[in-house]
Amino acid sequence: MKKIITTNDIKTNIPIRVYKKGYGYALLTLIENNDLFLICKSPDDFFTYITENETVECYIWPYPDGSYDFTTTVMGKISSPFPIILLKHTSSIVYNPTRQCLKAKVNIPFSFFTFSINTSKSFSSEDIQWHQGTILELTDREALLQTAIKLEHFVKGNLHLGTNDIDITGKVTGISSTHYDILFVGLDDADRIAILDYIFTVYRE
């Protein structure tokens, strides 16, 4: 896939993670990229906080692996029909060969059941044995799960994040005593963004 050389190359609908000291992180969505600006849909609270000519640190991850960082300036704001922030173009953009995920320290109860790769995709209530654990670390790609039972293959459960309930399927990728690294499998974009929004609240300044 072609590398991004300037912000003019960023495709629409890509999420942009922005950081502003004093506020923390917010997630913008690029809705139009023209010769003048990056035109981004903004959350209401970030739109209210940020002012024109302020500098923000931006991060995008347009591919499964790899990401980009750049710093730019807020050139303007439009309040209707929804909050829009105009970002200045820049060619000072840095490629990272890996994702730079935000990792939040959390303490979230997690009910789940386990299954192996040989298990049928359908589950009946009689077949499921529910277990309890706690999510201690969370990114939009993986989690650190603490539980008393031994895990070997896959887990499936419901992650409650504020007002959002997210169905999680995860592959066990690492073990340390009662702590397990869980890599999310088949997570759709809407659920990933919901997880990111929750993580941003943890980092809110």
Measure the CA–CA gap between 162 and 97, rounded to whole angstroms.
33
Quick check: 52 pLDDT over 60?
yes
Domains of the chain, each with CATH number or no CATH: 7-96 (2.30.110.10), 104-187+197-203 (2.40.10.220)
Q: Compute the average pLDDT of residues 116-140.
A: 77
Residues 166 and 194 sit within 8 Å (Cβ to Cβ)? yes
The end-to-end CA distance of the chain, in Å, is 36
Q: What is the pLDDT of residue 126?
A: 53
Residues 169 and 141 sit within 8 Å (Cβ to Cβ)? no
Quick check: 145 pLDDT over 80?
yes
Quick check: 90 pLDDT over 60?
yes
CA 45 vs CA 3, 23, 49, 175: distances in Å: 32, 10, 6, 39
Q: What is the pLDDT of residue 189?
A: 85
Q: Compute the average pLDDT of residues 90-100.
A: 91
pLDDT tens, position by position, 6-51? 999 999 999 999 999 999 999 999 999 999 999 999 999 999 999 9
Q: What is the pLDDT of residue 64?
A: 66
* Alpha helices (H) in 50-111, listed in sequence order: none
3-state secondary structure string across 8-19: HHCCCCCEEEEE
Average pLDDT, the chain: 91
